[in-house]
Amino acid sequence: MSGASLPQACAAMLRRDLTLAWRRRGDLAMPVLYAVIVAVLFPFALGPDLALLQRIAAGVVLVTVLLAMLLALDAMFASDIEDGSLEQLVLSPQPLAPMLGMKILAHWLATALPLIVVSPLLAGMLHLPAAAMPALLLALLLATPLLSLLGAVLVALTVGTRRSGMLLALMLLPLCVPVVIFAAGAVAAAQQGLPWLAPVAWLAAALILAVVLAPLACAAALRIALDS
């Protein structure tokens, strides 16, 4: 008998979830389209004032990306619980937390990465100065996985409750406040020509903390969810 090693199991998990995401790629386009439409609404609502749009561009892109991620977050464990895959995962000899970490990574790659790819386009539409673009992208690269990890814990906690989508939004959005403050702070500083690494470093520190703790919390929450 040959048991599966943890790296093998992690690779299998990542491969499976990315394959599934690719087979359901119609679903993946939706958060991106949503983000584009929301970002386009702002100039219509606020008028084509260049200075105003430049000032709000970074904030609009950040909040839009965040809301678009929220749309997709709900589905993170839903299908796995429905078809019994989660039971099999819990019963496997592999430690649950790293396996869930792989699931969160696959979810981030499938939902947040496309949003990051279109974000320069959104920022460009709102006339964000090119000088602030690197700060925006770096802030998004750190803030989106942080949101995926925080969101995963909340999804795991709200699994099995009715109307969990709404509950999830109400629980996650307050947690997003510091993330948005630091991310927007970095871009604002870059726009004014000030050093912007400090808020980015804070985001990175929070991300490292979340990478370690969130999968553990997720694993505990899902075990409780199955135990009923």
Partner 1 sequence: MTAAAAPPLLEAHRLSFHRQDEPVFAPLDFRLHAGELALVEGDNGSGKTTLLRLLAGLLHVSEGRLLWRGAPWQREACAGEILFLGHQLGQKLELSPRENLAFAAGLHGRRDGITLDGVLDEAGLAGYGDEPVRRLSAGQKKRAALARLLLQPAALWLLDEPYANLDRHGIALVNRLLERHVAGGGAVLVSSHGAVGFHGGEPQRIRMHA
**Polymer length in residues for the chain:** 228
Question: Which residues from 41-80 bind partner 1, rule CB under 8 A?
Answer: 79
Closest separation between CB of residue 100 and partner 1, Å?
13
Would you list the DSSP string of 143-175?
Answer: HHHHHHHHHHHHHHHHTTSTTHHHHHHHHHHHH
Question: Which residues from 8-37 bind partner 1, rule CB under 8 A?
Answer: 8-9, 11-13, 15-16, 19-20, 23-24
Residue 197 binding partner 1, by CB under 8 A: no
**Cα 59 from Cα 63, distance rounded (Å):** 6
Q: Which of these ranges, 90-98, 106-114, 185-193, 194-202, lies near partner 1 under the rule CB under 8 A? A: 90-98
**Cα 9 from Cα 99, distance rounded (Å):** 8
Q: Are 54 and 129 in contact (CB under 8 A)?
A: yes
* CB nearer to partner 1: pick between 1 and 51: 1
The one among 37, 40, 91, 170 contacting partner 1 by CB under 8 A:
91
Residue 83 binding partner 1, by CB under 8 A: yes
Residue 93 binding partner 1, by CB under 8 A: yes
Task: Tell me the C-alpha to C-alpha distance, in Å, between residue 47 and each of 40, 51, 54, 59, 148.
Answer: 11, 11, 12, 17, 33
**Who contacts 57 (Cβ-Cβ below 8 Å, separation ≥6)?**
123, 126, 127, 128
Residue 106 binding partner 1, by CB under 8 A: no
For residue 215, give the H/E element and its range. Answer: helix 197-226
Closest separation between CB of residue 76 and partner 1, Å?
15
**Cα 146 from Cα 178, distance rounded (Å):** 11
Residue 92 binding partner 1, by CB under 8 A: yes
The one among 60, 63, 68, 94 contacting partner 1 by CB under 8 A:
94
Closest separation between CB of residue 222 and partner 1, Å?
11
Interface with partner 1 (CB under 8 A):
1-4, 8-9, 11-13, 15-16, 19-20, 23-24, 79, 82-85, 87-94, 99, 226-228
